[in-house]
Amino acid sequence: MSSFGFGLITAAVLAIATVGFTMQFAVTNVLNLAYGSIMINSAFVAYYLNARGVTAWATLPFGIATGAVASYALNRFVFTPFQRRNLAPITVVIVALGVDLCGTFGLQAIVGGGYVSFHQSPGKEYHILGMFLSGLQLIIIGICVVVLGVIHWLLKYTRLGKAMRATSANPSLARNSGVRTQRVISTTWIISGALCGLAGTVFAMNTGVFEATSAQLYIVLLLAAMFLGGPGEPYGAMFGALTIGVATEVSAAYISPQYKEVIAFLVLLGMLTFRPYGLFGSEKTI
């Protein structure tokens, strides 16, 4: 049961991250493989403020802002110009890999290779339903629930959410129906970037010690969660993140902690092979 608790924390962080990742894919049709590097950069901005004496939780907005600004800039100044050039779609993915290298190792060049951690107490331990959760972990779960609720409200009940869904389903049709798609796309990248920054910061807080390359393999969990729920589907991403988060921690407890991520890999490969449009999705029109 305690592994289930760990799973919930992993899932909470992963859910925030995956929803952002899948929203970017939905509106721009790009697998943003540089996502992990923006997560860790956001975490380091928050960490540096924390090391200068700011309370850990108070640094969250700065992590969020870093993610939002960096993601917006990445889309506006890198991805969009490349997409306008009408190159093969894989080009943008390769560019994203290049950005990931620059982001991750540029950070490492600045901060060095050592491990750091937030000055933050994990808080009192709570015993809930057979799970032991620290105050920190409870707050992370709380943040996740609130964030997912806000995203749900945004997608379901606002004009912006409707415009996002329209843009994702058919950009040219949305444009012809009067949706200002360019603006919708930019807004989506700011919101998803904020989620990326938030996810990166809480990921670092939850991990305890971290360094510049700590999020490098996080992209695998993200991809697994996204493909499980269907690429570009925010609700699918929530479901996928919960499943993957719990599955990795439970398998770590019952099989071997060394192979913790293996289950995510296998899920991802299985989904790509048999159901690349997600468990509930169907093939898009050619």
Site size toward other proteins (CB under 8 A) is 47
Q: Kindly state the smallest distance separating residue 180's Cβ from other proteins, in Å.
A: 25
Within positions 129 to 188, which residues make up the interface with other proteins, using CB under 8 A?
Answer: none
Give the contacts of 78 (CB within 8 A, at least 6 positions apart). 95, 99
The residues that bridge with 117 in the sheet, in sequence order, are: 209
- The secondary structure of residue 75, as a DSSP letter, is I
Out of 10, 42, 66, 104, the only residue in the binding site for other proteins (CB under 8 A) is: 104
Q: How many degrees, rounded to 5, is the angle at CA 82 between CA 78 and CA 85? A: 155
Q: Is 124 in the site for other proteins (CB under 8 A)?
A: no
- The one-letter amino acid at 35: Y
Question: Which tokens belong to 74?
Answer: 């990445």
Q: Is 52 in the site for other proteins (CB under 8 A)?
A: no
For other proteins, which stretch binds (CB under 8 A), given 12-20, 38-46, 108-116, 246-254?
108-116
Q: Kindly state the smallest distance separating residue 149's Cβ from other proteins, in Å.
A: 26
How far is 190 from 75, CA to CA, in rounded Å?
10
Nearest in space to 1 (alpha carbons), one of 239, 249, 271, 268:
249
Out of 88, 128, 129, 159, the only residue in the binding site for other proteins (CB under 8 A) is: 88
How far is 189 from 199, CA to CA, in rounded Å?
15
Out of 187, 190, 265, 279, the only residue in the binding site for other proteins (CB under 8 A) is: 265
> Quick one: residue 179, left, alpha or beta (phi over 0 = left, psi -120 to 50 = alpha)?
beta
Out of 70, 223, 244, 246, the only residue in the binding site for other proteins (CB under 8 A) is: 223
Q: In this structure, how many other beta carbons lie within 10 angstroms of the beta carbon of residue 222? A: 31
Pick between residue 85 and residue 159 the one whose CB is nearest to other proteins.
85
Pick between residue 41 and residue 59 the one whose CB is nearest to other proteins.
41
Residues forming contacts to other proteins in the complex (CB under 8 A) are: 31, 33, 78, 81-82, 85, 87-91, 93-95, 97-102, 104-106, 108-109, 112-113, 212, 217, 220, 223, 231, 258-259, 261-262, 265, 268-269, 272-273, 276, 282-286
